[in-house]
Structure 1
Amino acid sequence: MPAATISAAPSGTKSRKKKGRRARLLVIVLVLALVAGVGYGTYWGVSTVRASLPQTTGEIKLPGLSGNVDVQRDNYGVPQIYADTDDDLFRAQGFVQAQDRFWEMDVRRHMTSGRLSEMFGSGQVKTDSFLRTLGWRRVAQKEYDTKLSAKTKEYLQAYAAGVNEYLKGKDGKQISVEYAALGLTNDYTPEKWTPVDSVAWLKAMAWDLRGNMQDEIDRSLMTSRLDTQQIDDLYPAYPYSRNKPIVQQGGIDPVTGKFDPSANPAGSVDGTNTAGDAVQGMQSQLSSLSDTLDEIPALLGPSGSGIGSNSWVVSGKYTTTGEPLLANDPHLAPQLPSLWYQMGLHCRTVSSKCGYDVAGYTFSGMPGVIIGHNQDVAWGFTNLGADVTDLYLEKVSSTGYLYDGQEKPFTTRDETIKVAGGRSRQITVRETNNGPLVSDRDTELAKVGQKAPVASAAPDRGNGYAVALKWTALQPGNSMDAVFELDKAKDWTTFRAAAKDFEVPSQNLIYADTKGHIGYQAPGTIPIRAKGFDGTMPAPGWDSKYAWKGSIAFDKLPYEYDPKSGYIVTANQAVIDAKKYPYLLTEDWGYGARSRRITDLIESKIKDGGKISTEDMQKMQLDNSSEIAKLLTPLLLKLNVKDPDVRQAQKLLEGWDYTQEPDSAAAAYFNSVWRNILKLAFGNKLPKELRAEGDCLNVPPADSSSGPADEQKKLVRECGQRSADSAQPDGGDRWYEVVRNLLNKPDSDWWKTPQTRLDAATHNRDELFGRAMKDARWELTAKLGKDMDTWNWGRLHQLTLKNQTLGTDGPGVLKWMLNRGPWNLGGGEAAVDATGWNAAGGYGVVWVPSMRMVVNLKDLDKSQWINLTGASGHAYSAHYTDQTDMWANGDLLTWSFSKSAVDHGTVDHLVLKP
């Protein structure tokens, strides 16, 4: 799904609408003033922009400091902070991040607490209601009150104090131009930052990385139209023999009961049955839940298992430096500003009172560094994809829910949602022992079980059914402790100790240190399900046999340390072969297209004694080869194409090397063929709840020699902009595996399509492929023009960076002020250079390598990094998007770490004084 869309203006009465129109007129004045550069900065717009830009040189008093703190910024505005105590370090971090990105921080905390309506009006009430039902903020408060260490609380308090010192005495327009625009439509005023605001952001991370919840819903909806075998066709088994899991050796030691990389496997998971029978007949209700989930802001990227990332580490025996090299590029939603914030946190002297010397990527609003390196170790993250959620169907009455034959009372609480420019709304949140009733937040879901009967396995429906969410992140944990522990880790032992506290979201952690060791750890709170329940379908909440049985102990989770292979690759593939591991991690892995390609690139480089350099790691990150193109192109070229226009397009594939460069016409045509194959073979055969409206792919040929008619152009334009439900074929590597398994079944029913007014029926694979080639030819004619010499992948595959609030739903001129782009990109879905696009919705870029880094453990100052946008969240700062062109070109910047290197690169020097 696209990134969060947050409405800027309240809706409701005519007076508020008039006020919104007046606001837009004033914004136009602002824009004109900016463009014209009108006199003295006295115009409101110009003075607002200038007032919000941070002071980065000279001196500023920051009460609460025990000594001076230096903030040194390079020519990209990336800050490196130097202090003498931990408290001073994190207090300064809060101040500096607020200088650059407080608007972003403020919006995030309102999202995590379900308070967007206070900023943006009634259009966000539904989103707020759902987020209040989940209760992220309440869980974060419990974590802060009962779970986090005293030291972590001190750091969070210092960070909050720094943020609040920045805010002190400032009105909205002195903080950012967005506040100035928002102030034209309501009287919102930023409030003080709190430590819990920082902790709550981890819940947003966990939500977007939660695993297979959408797959649970989709499988259930498929049962209305597809049989078991057909659903299995669309969710094939993981190809362990071809795409190797991360951990290829070891298992649970039968003596110690712990995971041991050298142990013999202890056995496979018991049972693979699902709870599918219990959800028959509930398609409309689950479809409604799917729609509700789609409306929740996805601040990290397309939600659940769709999110991918790459990381790998190579031992010194295979590198030109003789020490490890570590690479990481998380794939997340394109945002402006980027989700990541680059920063260095340095104690002038590392000691008991000041223990940090770390640099890397963090989130605005959160102290510490999330991904990066310190003076001893480096680490990276990818999404493990563990199944940490289950949907439970609950048999409910007006007062309670059924559990093992007895009615139990709901746990309830009332929530008040304040609305800018409107009346407050009241909701009641109901919870069962399986979690909050997410179905209460949708009028259709409130009638669960009333419209359609369920299977005989369910009890008498009575007043209906509800849907509860069980999720590990709704239990307080210690993940915030883990951030600070990672930042101070000295070796493998202390690194694993930190990973143990990283409970949610569950991530693949890779590791390297300056002593030459490499490693991998799978952390996280991952539930143990009852025998026979694999979490792939919603479960009957009224039956205790489907309840979770605790979680997998940390010492039983897979890890590797200095493996014989000399390298470790994680790219969302399976962690370990399910036949060799007794606990279920998930049934919904990524299918390993990227991990296999990275492995092949490493092995081809080290073959016959070759060595890998930092530059080689960078080139691997930019590899844009298409696995599905390698598989299908030879078959497409064998087809006897009679239509001369389609034959002309087919010739583009002759001699193509399967790379997806921005200027490649072959990549443009193949990806259109692939998209049309998916639509024809699968899209129209899915239940209506999972199909996008309209026929966005079958574009008829032009009626005139000048190209498609206006109506056709309109159709193509609308279809390219239309989003689609997640179960529509998105073109990712699951669909690679689906199609691969069907290629040797040329007469499968999946290849058969009915006759239309424009096309004959297809009866087999080759006929369907031929029709897809024709449809692709005319689709690209409509989109790119009749002259194929002008076709290229980048014109289809564009990235536009949008400010995630007013730049998405604000007035057009405000979007013009805040947004940037487009950029024509190479890469593609499930390529290592994963500029992802959703085949159901169009070719536009919907997720990206949100940053790239390569850490050189031999000489940390020779490490390299890049961010998607820039350090600043201020639209008219020089550092708003000053890294984007380089990012798009695949370039990396020098990542200075030592004091001498930082001093050499310093452009702006600010001293924060007590």
Structure 2
Amino acid sequence: MPPNTTASTGQQPGKSGRKKGRRARLLLLVLVLALVGGVTGGAYWSISTVRASFPQTKGSLTLAGLSGPVDVKRDDYGIPQVYASSDEDLFMAQGYVQAQDRFYEMDVRRHMTSGRLSEMFGKSQVDNDEFLRTLGWDRIAQQEYDKTLSASTKKYLQAYAKGVNAYLDGKDNKDISLEYAALGFTNDYKPQKWTPVDSISWLKAMAWDLRGNMQDEIDRALMTSRLGPKEIADLYPQYPYGRNKTIVQAGRYDEVTKTFQQNGGTSSAGSSAGGSTSGTASASAGLQSQLSGLQNVLDDLPTAVGVNGNGIGSNSWVVRGKYTITGKPLLANDPHLSASLPSVWYQMGLHCRAISSKCQYDVTGYTFAGMPGVVIGHNQNIAWGMTNSGVDVTDLYLEKLSGDGYLYDGKTVPFTAREETIEVAGGTPKKIVVRETNNGPLLSDRSSELVKVGRKAAVDTAAPDRGDGYGIALRWTALSPGTSMDAVFAMDRAANWSDFRAAATLFDVPSQNLIYADTKDNIGYTLPGKIPTRAQGYDGSVPAPGWDAKSRWTGYIDQDELPYEYNPTRGYIVTANQAVVDKAKYPYTLTTDWGYGARSQRITDLIQSKIDDGGKISTDDMRQMQLDNSSEIAKLLVPKLLKIDIEDKDVRQAQELLEGWDYTQDADSAAAAYFNSVWRNILKLAFGNKLPKELRVEGQCLWVDPVNTTGPADETQKVRECGEREADQAQPDGGDRWFEVVRSLMNDEDSDWWSTPRSGTRPAAANRDELFKRAMIDARWELTAKLGKDIDTWSWGRLHRLFLKNQTLGTEGPGFLQYILNRGPWKLSGGEATVNASGWNAAGGYGVVWVPSMRMVVNLGDLDKSKWINLTGASGHAYSAHYTDQTDKWADGELLDWSFSDDAVDESTSDHLVLKP
């Protein structure tokens, strides 16, 4: 599952275009397989294969193991609502139905989480498997199942697995999915039975992609090779507490906070509140090389839900009934994750026909295929949403290695080691040894280059003598058994704020911002998670010296001391990855790397503006807020750009696009296209030639597709796009941290950051306005090359496009399979750090790399008037009508009706399947 490498499959599809595209792909599949298997037999086999894997959605089926009948009612979009009379029947049916729609996706996920991708896809995945085995997600998941999860959770996991296996029973590969039939050309792979641990492991993968500031930790350390403390501080400005509101503004954190505030903001509660890094390991030559090599390993890893831990964001907010049309709360959520096909989310309802101790659930929302329960959504009493909190739960440690051990507190301690065997489809098994220190597994063992570099490492004088070398270990909360699976079921059952808070305490990893609303007009926020405390002098911002006992974690923040808020007087709560709480008002360092609040403050301003005008907020108002395309960085820069005197008439013509522009990044906006190109070039000119080249992320260019093409791209097109970046430069990604960097430098017009050398006929710059002028020139000619000289044909959507690529075979399979399985492009509005966060990475182009993976608005006044949408569709089958049937509406910002009550579900049902014992 490497990063996506395929290119365009056509223009933005309309309804008729989708049908034509599906027919064309099906015809191509028939022709190709006919050539493989013989004209008559091959064509017949291909059509039957496609249809054989489609689920039965009407009539009845016998499912051994059920204690009573189960109804599965699907609407016009194939979204299932399941009705049962016992918890076990409910979750068994959930496993069966999800396997019907998404088993291939589920199978790939469990091979990723267990480090067994090579079993499916051969030697190309061995390096990834080695790293994933080193992390050991499935080992931790097994420990959770054996030791920490409740008996009821184990019972539900067993029932779910039984349902998945009932679906697999008696099926050949071609009866499960088209992808298995394609794999059969070169691989005799056969899916194994599903286990409860397969479900638990997925939470570890999700936690990995939402792991917090590990990338910033690496980057800051690498920067020391070229930049001094002041320059690094310029690139990591302080959070703007005075401008962008924190999540919790008037909440409580128990007696410890009162004591902290009474003492004037000083505390010995287990962590530095000031962010001192005096005790950390400095990034000398050896550590520089170690971290650079580690970064390359991380970039090659497959992603679970995010872009390898980068650019992860989300929006959620809740408004109390005082300010809504219904008089009851409205709750919105749209998690920003990497674009995948099928979507990472699966929409579903789980309903007990009668609530009792035997059957406790009446819940609907979004879950993951492969995992029982509902992760985000609502039940009959409450609703909840999630965004990534970004709290720092990972630390890298530079370890001094010596023979069969590592140095700690002046002594050599033996490694904890285990041997792993990686099975390889079509190849020879490979054995690896995983070594662990008291700070966690040695990530550096997974690269021979890192081992060689470590042995030659020349570190600063604070480190011990070199000896055998150095390695890098990872300390991460998710590498200890936890109870997050318990939390999912507890939230699904919660009836009130007290129940919800209790459930949240079980959600140890990943730490998420949880918002809450109920039908009694209460709203709330709570921060759960297993969050470490550190000794004075260590704040997790850069790698720490593993040999120093003082660098170890000192404990975890008590759940009662974590921030929360309930029914704030302002009447609403907004979370969008901004700071949870003002560091001057809280005794613990949660992280040094919050999102900087561009999205959260825009949402806050939109809500407050509506309130100040005396209006009442509706469900559609919430939807419109989710679609807000306003660019905060454009508001800052455009007035400056318009004051610059431009002599070149072609560049002046482009500059005029910005006159009167409302800073809205609509897909058809030429001004948005030009501004974002100017922004990208400002970043490149101001910072690209000044950052260490080790920061450059090679894999980013693989996300970029050519702009002017209607068919599969060839390799030269991809290389030309990637080649726009200088080989020896690191490029900023352009996220809201860079908004804040540029904002903080705006008044220092002669800062060294604003200097850039002459390039060909392009002028040098010695100050801010000269660099801005140069960026405007470069942007004009960049877009001329991409979109043509006539600016009347320019639009943001021509640059900013979404391609949906089927996992595995849609990224690394033969070209004809990529064409068959992939969809797109869609021309999108929105942008980076915008509420409508169709994110793009300025280091690699303008293509969409993460998206609002779903959108929902829950109406607590009438749950049947709630709305939702998914990025793709319910099905993972390429020729199903529900493969991408929600995507056009998603791209247009529409939401679907979300039925919940029995009557509403019956009215919307188009297919009804009865599962019988």
Quote the Cα distance in structure 2 between the aligned partners of 1:45 and 1:349: 45
Given candidates 324, 331, 340, the residue that maps to 1:335 is: 340
CA-to-aligned-CA distance 1:467-517 (integer Å, 9 cap, x gap): 000000000000000000000000000000000000000000000000000
Deviation at 1:453, TM superposition (A): 1.1
Q: Is the 8 A contact 2:290 2:471 kept in 1?
A: no
Given candidates 746, 751, 754, the residue that maps to 2:749 is: 746
Q: Is the 8 A contact 1:56 1:908 kept in 2?
A: yes
The code of the aligned residue for 1:280 comes to S
Quote the Cα distance in structure 2 between the aligned partners of 1:324 and 1:695: 41
CA-to-aligned-CA distance 1:207-260 (integer Å, 9 cap, x gap): 00000111111111100000000000001000000001000124544xx43789
What's the counterpart of residue 109 of structure 1? 110
What's the counterpart of residue 193 of structure 2? 192
What's the counterpart of residue 733 of structure 2? 730
Deviation at 1:285, TM superposition (A): 1.6
- Partner secondary structure for residue 778 of structure 2: helix
What's the counterpart of residue 15 of structure 1? none
Quote the Cα distance in structure 2 between the aligned partners of 1:99 and 1:560: 41
Q: Does 1:805 align with 2:769?
A: no
How large is the Cα RMSD of the aligned pairs?
A: 2.5
What's the counterpart of residue 878 of structure 2? 875
Q: Does 1:624 align with 2:624?
A: no
Deviation at 1:306, TM superposition (A): 2.3
Distance 1:692 1:551, change over 3 A: closer
What's the counterpart of residue 513 of structure 1? 518
Q: Is the 8 A contact 1:793 1:826 kept in 2?
A: yes
What's the counterpart of residue 256 of structure 2? 257
Q: Is the 8 A contact 2:67 2:89 kept in 1?
A: yes
Quote the Cα distance in structure 2 between the aligned partners of 1:72 and 1:908: 6
What's the counterpart of residue 16 of structure 2? none
Q: Does 1:157 align with 2:158?
A: yes
Q: TM-score when scaled to structure 2?
A: 0.93
Quote the Cα distance in structure 2 between the aligned partners of 1:430 and 1:203: 20
Q: Does 1:406 align with 2:411?
A: yes
Distance 1:722 1:69, change over 3 A: farther
> Counterparts in 2 of 1:674-753, with a 5 A limit?
674-691=679-696, 717-719=720-722, 728-753=731-756
Distance 1:565 1:342, change over 3 A: same
What's the counterpart of residue 72 of structure 1? 73
Deviation at 1:175, TM superposition (A): 0.1
What's the counterpart of residue 285 of structure 1? 290
Q: Does 1:373 align with 2:378?
A: yes
Q: Does 1:387 align with 2:392?
A: yes
- Partner secondary structure for residue 306 of structure 1: coil
Quote the Cα distance in structure 2 between the aligned partners of 1:104 and 1:257: 46
Q: Is the 8 A contact 1:252 1:260 kept in 2?
A: no
The code of the aligned residue for 2:283 comes to V
Q: Does 1:570 align with 2:575?
A: yes
Quote the Cα distance in structure 2 between the aligned partners of 1:316 and 1:384: 26
What's the counterpart of residue 761 of structure 1? 764
The code of the aligned residue for 1:746 comes to E
Q: Is the 8 A contact 2:305 2:337 kept in 1?
A: yes
- Partner secondary structure for residue 278 of structure 1: coil
Quote the Cα distance in structure 1 between the aligned partners of 2:883 and 2:700: 39
Distance 1:638 1:308, change over 3 A: same
Given candidates 882, 887, 892, the residue that maps to 2:890 is: 887
Q: Does 1:203 align with 2:221?
A: no
What's the counterpart of residue 123 of structure 1? 124
Quote the Cα distance in structure 2 between the aligned partners of 1:904 and 1:626: 41
> Counterparts in 2 of 1:25-44, with a 5 A limit?
31=32, 43-44=44-45
What's the counterpart of residue 907 of structure 2? 904
CA-to-aligned-CA distance 1:282-307 (integer Å, 9 cap, x gap): 21221000010111111211233620
Distance 1:421 1:524, change over 3 A: same
Q: Is the 8 A contact 1:573 1:592 kept in 2?
A: yes
Distance 1:259 1:360, change over 3 A: farther
Deviation at 1:161, TM superposition (A): 0.2
Quote the Cα distance in structure 1 between the aligned partners of 2:146 and 2:443: 26
**Which stretch shifts more, 40-49 or 799-808?**
40-49
Q: Is the 8 A contact 2:141 2:200 kept in 1?
A: yes
Q: Is the 8 A contact 1:720 1:841 kept in 2?
A: no
Deviation at 1:758, TM superposition (A): 2.6
CA-to-aligned-CA distance 1:678-728 (integer Å, 9 cap, x gap): 0000011101212368999xxxxxxxxxxxxxxxx9699423798999963
Given candidates 775, 785, 796, the residue that maps to 1:772 is: 775
**Which stretch shifts more, 750-759 or 898-907?**
750-759
Quote the Cα distance in structure 2 between the aligned partners of 1:506 and 1:222: 28
The code of the aligned residue for 2:197 comes to V
Q: Does 1:613 align with 2:618?
A: yes
Distance 1:178 1:225, change over 3 A: same
Quote the Cα distance in structure 2 between the aligned partners of 1:347 and 1:30: 47
What's the counterpart of residue 795 of structure 2? 792
Q: Is the 8 A contact 2:275 2:589 kept in 1?
A: no
Q: TM-score when scaled to structure 1?
A: 0.93
Q: Does 1:356 align with 2:361?
A: yes
CA-to-aligned-CA distance 1:568-597 (integer Å, 9 cap, x gap): 000000000011101110000000000000
The code of the aligned residue for 1:515 comes to K
CA-to-aligned-CA distance 1:439-482 (integer Å, 9 cap, x gap): 00011211344334111000001110010000000000000000
- Partner secondary structure for residue 120 of structure 1: helix
The code of the aligned residue for 2:282 comes to A
Q: Does 1:171 align with 2:175?
A: no
What's the counterpart of residue 840 of structure 2? 837
Deviation at 1:755, TM superposition (A): 2.3
Distance 1:695 1:324, change over 3 A: closer
What's the counterpart of residue 240 of structure 2? 239
4+ residue runs of structure 1 moved beyond 3 angstroms? 1-6, 26-34, 38-42, 250-253, 256-271, 275-278, 448-452, 691-696, 713-717, 720-727
Quote the Cα distance in structure 1 between the aligned partners of 2:726 and 2:847: 11
Q: Is the 8 A contact 2:298 2:308 kept in 1?
A: no
Gap regions ≥5 residues in structure 1: 7-23, 697-712
Q: Is the 8 A contact 2:113 2:205 kept in 1?
A: yes
The code of the aligned residue for 2:90 comes to L
Deviation at 1:278, TM superposition (A): 3.4
- Partner secondary structure for residue 455 of structure 2: coil
Q: Is the 8 A contact 1:382 1:570 kept in 2?
A: yes
What's the counterpart of residue 539 of structure 1? 544
Q: Does 1:820 align with 2:823?
A: yes
CA-to-aligned-CA distance 1:85-133 (integer Å, 9 cap, x gap): 0000000000000000000000000000000000000000000000000
Deviation at 1:77, TM superposition (A): 0.1
CA-to-aligned-CA distance 1:737-785 (integer Å, 9 cap, x gap): 0000000000000001122233232100000000000000000000001
What's the counterpart of residue 249 of structure 2? 248
Given candidates 584, 590, 594, the residue that maps to 1:585 is: 590
Q: Is the 8 A contact 1:2 1:333 kept in 2?
A: no
Distance 1:265 1:176, change over 3 A: farther
Q: Is the 8 A contact 1:88 1:158 kept in 2?
A: yes
What's the counterpart of residue 702 of structure 1? none
Quote the Cα distance in structure 1 between the aligned partners of 2:728 and 2:756: 21
- Partner secondary structure for residue 459 of structure 1: coil
- Partner secondary structure for residue 448 of structure 2: coil
Quote the Cα distance in structure 1 between the aligned partners of 2:499 and 2:259: 18
What's the counterpart of residue 218 of structure 2? 217
Deviation at 1:273, TM superposition (A): 2.1
Quote the Cα distance in structure 2 between the aligned partners of 1:322 and 1:39: 64
Q: Is the 8 A contact 2:691 2:729 kept in 1?
A: no
Distance 1:495 1:720, change over 3 A: farther
Gap regions ≥5 residues in structure 2: 7-24, 702-715
Q: Does 1:96 align with 2:97?
A: yes
> Counterparts in 2 of 1:292-691, with a 5 A limit?
292-304=297-309, 306-691=311-696
The code of the aligned residue for 1:644 comes to K
